[in-house]
Structure 1
Amino acid sequence: MSATVPKAAALALLGLTGTPVMVEAAVTRQLPGMAVIGLPDAALAEARLRVRTAIAQAGLSLSSRFLTINLSPAALPKHGSSFDLAIALAALSASGEVPDGRLHTTAHFGELGLDGGIRRPAGLLSAVVAARELGFERIMVPESGRAEALLVPGIGVISAPDLAAAAAWHRGSPGRWSEIPGDRRRDDGQSGNGPRVSRALAEPDMADVVGQPEATEAMVIAAAGRHHISLSGPPGAGKTLLASRLPSILPDLTSEEALTASCIASLGGSPVTELIRRPPFERPHHTASPAAIIGGGDAAGIRPGAITRACHGVMLLDETPLFSSTVLDALRQPLESGVVEIHRARFRATFPAALQLVLASNPCPCGNADSPDPALECTCTPYARRQYAQRVSGPLRDRIDLSLEVRRVSSVVLTESCAVRPTSRELKDRVGRARALAAARLSGTPWTVNAQVPGNWLRGPAARLPRSHTAVLDQALGRGALTLRGYDRTLRVAWTIADLAGRDLPSRADIARALALRGGRR
């Protein structure tokens, strides 16, 4: 009769998705040693050295025979050092030091130091969320990651500063471990054990924008419907200023969005002690590579790009035509689907990418095209201007809902506008009321904002508008000035304009305004 093989549960993270891994340990009749099998990477293959040293430092002992550690499923590639804790406990169980009663029902996530301490690996918050979704009763984490793990309700958390404390918990003996069951914590954001949300630091204010009332209102429309927007204008017109203030008029993230944003932040390696409540803002440089924007991966693991870090927030591409065409065209699919898929030879990962994109560009390389000031004459050739404009492809432009030309502020406008500038708080309240109207209208559907609503629903019986209202759109579609995608996106903007005005349905004027903001006048 064969001996029982102890199994300790661990988690393999592939992006934000977790897969359960059972760490099996068996003693064989060979010379003392240890082997780790099951497609480990280089960092994981070195775990046998960290584990043996940490066990000795913890005052525990391993079997004097050969230990084989198998990471099941064996065909799944495993990356990183987060399996150290599970490997050590499985090896100790096979050596008779630790009972195996709760090893397979408890997820383990931690890296071992040579002194026997347990350290926090990158992605701890994502691992706790994955463990809860996979049905684990509890998860064991390093003491340094306790506050981060407690952000996730519905799962018990055991924290241990070192391997000796982790082994003591499995033995049921006193030690420096602490345990908080999942049923003793509420997802209310207020209790001491519930998720805490980060308080917003001082954000830039939209009141800093001077003399651009049309552009400010366009940013409000973009924020209310979560629409993509393009800003074009000469240097110094305020394009970057407007874009950087867009997050300040966005509502706080919901609990689900805050947890997603925090999980993405935890993949960067820094501890997350509070849920991220304010929408993130990313502003990559125009020299960024496709992997930096979209995400990438290699033998060392998968890394999210800026488009994922900006999830539920804003990403600004300043000086858009200077970005490589490969980067710009790679944005097309994520903007449509809200997710980005990274395919490599041995794995595939999916990251969320539900963001607002802001494109900011000059009208030409020198920036003075169409300037009313004769002193600022454009020095670019027609060919250079055409090439500059074509850096942003037609399919990408077709996915932008609002297109706005921003002019420089004159001294007269500067003087008149000093006393009448809405603040971000006032605009945020308007955006919140408009989103509440949209959410009430869309109740019972999977969508909460207008930018998420598919075109077949907008054109279907649930939201179909009278033909007299959509006549201008139908004419633009008929003569080829709009694609069907552009038709649907214009309808979404029209619904947002109506929500901001408190109307039940978009009027003809709302649809005409949405078409003009899209660039239909040209």
Structure 2
Amino acid sequence: MLARLASASLRGLEAEAVDVEVDLSRGMPSWSLVGLPDAAVREARDRVRAALLNSNFEFPLRHITVNLAPADKRKDGSHFDLPVAVGLLLASAQIYVENQSVIPFLVGEMALDGRLNPVSGVLPLTIFAQSQGIQQIIVPLGNAEEAAVVQGIEVIAASNLLEVAAHLQGQRTLMPFEPSETTSETEENMLDLKDVRGQHQARRALEIVAAGGHHELMSGPPGSGKSMLASRLPSILPPLTDTQRLAVARVYSIAGEANTRSPMSSVPPFRAPHHSASDVAMIGGGQIPKPGEVTKSLHGCLFLDEIPEFKRPVLEVLRQPLESGTVSIARAADTLTFPAEFQLIGAMNPCPCGYLGHPTKPCRCSQTQVSRYVGRISGPLLDRFDIRIHVPPVEHDELTNMQAGESSAEVRKRVIQARNIQYTRQGEGIVNARLLPTALEKHAKPDEEGSNLLTTALNRFGLSARSYHRILKVARTIADLVGEPKVQAAHIAEALQYRGDSE
């Protein structure tokens, strides 16, 4: 007897249709799994056999053929366990479903005692099922919150194979999963910008970074507050839209990190990898390509603390996604493209000992050591930072006597207002940092005084064409923060201050 169920295989951030066909025929008891399965899929035989027997079902003593069609595409993941197990029960007539075409979409890994274990990639699988017009999906209880993000499909959470079998036969109907109130929160407990004392220029720069979607590099001695400032950037960024929230949740689902953040969270992601990270960890890859840190930072912030300590190849792979907003991973069998629209925030010391230019502590480094340390960041990568500032140390007396600054909520109001101005002028989702040169000339053309100031700066500092465009982008953001439709000389002057002293 033949049973056929709908399933899907993951490819990058998308899912592709797969038919799970189970056939029982006469012959010596055996198991044949075909359709280019990977190791996790091939191991389903032992998991499914033990799960059936421990759930008081019989494992058919027939020649069993399981086909994952189409046969020319590789299948990976343990989520095929549940459809294979149900297919065996249908083919051996241990359960009966009158119309197999209306069987829900099944996702889950089988434990040996019949329990359903959570799997990665449930969100794109649920999105695929909904796009195919399937009305219901059965997932492990641990994946229910993630799947419930998708609208237009009924999510059923099951704990074990017996519950699934009873539900399919109508013996005990499982109720649709309803997310709890805690899973629908749009904000999490975030660090607040009011905790940062002093550092007025650094706080101002961070506000501009958030408003225009810019990249920033901070340099300063240890303990000046660089990491503290960077970790508070998500608190002043606009909340994610529904589309962005779904895109971020899909990335974390594929990466197997869905439990690290709520799929309902509208807080932009913040990633801070250690400087020992490899280029594959940063950009993504592997035999079966998975998203890297640049993709996990989608619509959020990638913070590289002690950026000169990162390996040179790791930093250089960031150049292309910083410009294009995507990253393509090529392998012999396939090429996958992942989204990589993120804001890069870097922090570094001015020298190996960290005290170059410190008002009280002397620097112990030679000029050669300083040049070698700063030179670990290539010129092309350095040029991609829209804002480069020095974060000076805060004196102890000033720190203890100073009142708390503006809260993140107050700053975020101005940031959202500036973002709305950009979206109205340039199109939904297009921030100033993403403006192409043609649009930049149209929307950020300075007045005569500002143009003269910019020309003088170009001639004096020998700025590159990329630096010229980035200054205009920052100036456009500064103007948006005060609601000015025209970029003026004051905006250009402030933008020039944020180019650092490395030109």
Q: 2:368 aligns with which of 365, 383, 394?
A: 383
How far apart in 2 are the matches of 1:100 and 1:467?
78
Q: What is the RMSD computed on CA atoms of the aligned residues? A: 2.8
**Deviations 1:191-214 (CA, angstroms, capped at 9, x unpaired):** 969995335343222222222111
Residue of structure 1 equivalent to 2:433: 451
Q: Say whether 1:317 aligns with 2:304.
A: yes
Distance 1:136 1:396, change over 3 A: farther
**Matched-pair contact (CA < 8 Å) for 2:445–2:487:** no
**Matched-pair contact (CA < 8 Å) for 2:51–2:114:** yes
How far apart in 1 are the matches of 2:231 and 2:176?
43
Residue of structure 2 equivalent to 1:405: 390
Q: Say whether 1:92 aligns with 2:89.
A: yes
**Matched-pair contact (CA < 8 Å) for 2:196–2:404:** no
More helix by share: 2
Residue of structure 1 equivalent to 2:21: 24
Q: CA deviation at 1:270?
A: 5.1
**Deviations 1:63-110 (CA, angstroms, capped at 9, x unpaired):** 543121111222222222111111122333333444483457743211
Residue of structure 1 equivalent to 2:121: 123
Q: Say whether 1:228 aligns with 2:215.
A: yes
**Matched-pair contact (CA < 8 Å) for 1:150–1:195:** no
The aligned length equals 500
Q: How does 1:73-472 map to 2 (within 5 A)?
A: 73-96=70-93, 97-99=95-97, 101-103=99-101, 106-171=104-169, 173-179=170-176, 196-198=183-185, 200-266=187-253, 267-269=255-257, 271=259, 274-298=263-287, 301-373=288-360, 376-410=361-395, 413-414=398-399, 418-419=402-403, 421-442=405-426, 445-460=427-442, 464-465=445-446, 469-472=450-453
**Matched-pair contact (CA < 8 Å) for 1:43–1:81:** yes
Deviates more, 1:237-246 or 1:315-324: 237-246
How far apart in 2 are the matches of 1:41 and 1:104?
28
Per the normalisation by structure 2, the TM-score is 0.90
Per the normalisation by structure 1, the TM-score is 0.87
**Matched-pair contact (CA < 8 Å) for 1:481–1:520:** no
Q: CA deviation at 1:308?
A: 2.2
Other structure's SS at 1:459 match: helix
**Matched-pair contact (CA < 8 Å) for 2:12–2:337:** yes
Residue of structure 2 equivalent to 1:188: none
Distance 1:351 1:140, change over 3 A: same
Other structure's SS at 1:178 match: coil
Q: How does 1:56-67 map to 2 (within 5 A)?
A: 56-61=53-58, 63-67=60-64
Q: How does 1:500-515 map to 2 (within 5 A)?
A: 500-515=481-496
Q: CA deviation at 1:465?
A: 4.8
Distance 1:377 1:193, change over 3 A: closer
Q: CA deviation at 1:391?
A: 0.6
Q: Percent identity?
A: 40
**Deviations 1:458-500 (CA, angstroms, capped at 9, x unpaired):** 224x665556543444555578833333232222211110111
**Matched-pair contact (CA < 8 Å) for 1:50–1:112:** yes
Residue of structure 2 equivalent to 1:186: none
Q: CA deviation at 1:395?
A: 1.2
Distance 1:176 1:467, change over 3 A: same
Other structure's SS at 2:352 match: coil
Aligned AA (1:447): G
Other structure's SS at 2:48 match: helix
Q: CA deviation at 1:377?
A: 2.9
**Matched-pair contact (CA < 8 Å) for 1:124–1:145:** yes
Structure 2 unmatched ranges of 5 or more:
none
Other structure's SS at 1:82 match: helix
**Deviations 1:172-207 (CA, angstroms, capped at 9, x unpaired):** x22253347xxxxxxxxxx96999533534322222
How far apart in 1 are the matches of 2:197 and 2:461?
37
**Deviations 1:15-38 (CA, angstroms, capped at 9, x unpaired):** 322122111222333212221111
Q: CA deviation at 1:135?
A: 4.7
Q: CA deviation at 1:306?
A: 2.3
**Deviations 1:196-241 (CA, angstroms, capped at 9, x unpaired):** 5335343222222222111110011001111110001122222122
How far apart in 2 are the matches of 1:426 and 1:127?
39
Residue of structure 1 equivalent to 2:465: 484
Aligned AA (1:16): L
**Matched-pair contact (CA < 8 Å) for 1:123–1:269:** no
